Amino acid sequence: MYCVKFEEWFPHYQAIRMEFGYSTEKDQEAAKLLSTIIKKRKNLPSILSKKINGKSVIVIGAGPSLVENLSFIKKNPKFIKIVADAAVKPILDNKIKPDIVVTDLDGDKSSLLKASENAIMVVHAHSDNIEQIKKLTPKFRYVIGSTQVKPEEAVYNFGGFTDGDRCVFLAEEFLANEIILVGMDFGKHIGIYSNTRDEDTETKISKLKVGKKLLQILAKKSRSKLYDLSENPIPGFIHYFH
């Protein structure tokens, strides 16, 4: 437990690496750096397991449908809330406290720091965020690492690519009873809370396509009940009426 089977995940990573031009060596370097910073911290995987195992989990992304579904999140305060990076600010602005934040550290920095006072921060290491790992990670109270390459001490490979789909892979890995997607639209429209600049929109949409594909693959073997509040649910997820 605590990691996908690397031999199953690596072909997906290789395809992602080739499409977007990532460096396996630099991704591994980032994972090692993150490990050196956090490896002496408390063993958080067991705490994640207690939070998620057998529970109802809401995975919150920053897609266009987030705004209209904030009331659903507020009406279910006992559900465990796993929040993707860019969604942290609007969630906090609406007085909702994340339980777990999945981030590659490119979201609103003050919001990430605020969330980290109580939430477990699942920090993702990759070749493009090494400086942010150095600056932000030491300031987080509860932190565990994630990577797309080989795991390091305290840095795990749970699967997934974007912050949003990594939230789902995390919930699945720790045996959530049900996973409900909110603001996880994976379409051609970028939500107002996204960190994406206009010139990066095409790349963002390409990344969302990969994330959606990975969740379709996950749905075929998931042990959790999978629901989606989006008007166009991901294949393998059931539309959740509320």
Which residue range is the domain that position 211 belongs to? 6-239
* 217-241 pLDDT tens trace: 999 999 999 999 988 899 999 998 7
The CATH number of residue 160's host domain is: 3.90.1480
Give yes or no for a contact between 98 and 120, defined as CB atoms under 8 angstroms apart.
no
Sign of the CA dihedral 42, 44, 45, 50? positive
Cβ-contact 64, 192 below 8 angstroms: yes
Digit-coded pLDDT (tens) for 66-76: 999 999 999 99
Task: Please report whether residue 1 resides in a domain.
Answer: no
65: helix, strand or coil:
helix
DSSP state of 124: E
- Quick check: is 117 in a domain? yes
Q: Residue 200 — very low, low, confident or very high, per pLDDT cuts 50/70/90?
A: confident
Strands (E), 115-174: 120-124, 143-146, 155-156
- H or E segment and range at residue 135: helix 130-136
The answer to whether residue 186 sits within a structural domain is yes
Q: pLDDT by residue (tens digit) across 85-111?
A: 999 999 999 999 999 999 999 989 999
pTM of the full predicted structure? 0.94
CA dihedral (37, 167, 157, 204) positive or negative: negative
Domain contains 198: yes
- Tens of pLDDT, residues 176-185: 999 999 999 8
In a domain, 196, yes or no: yes
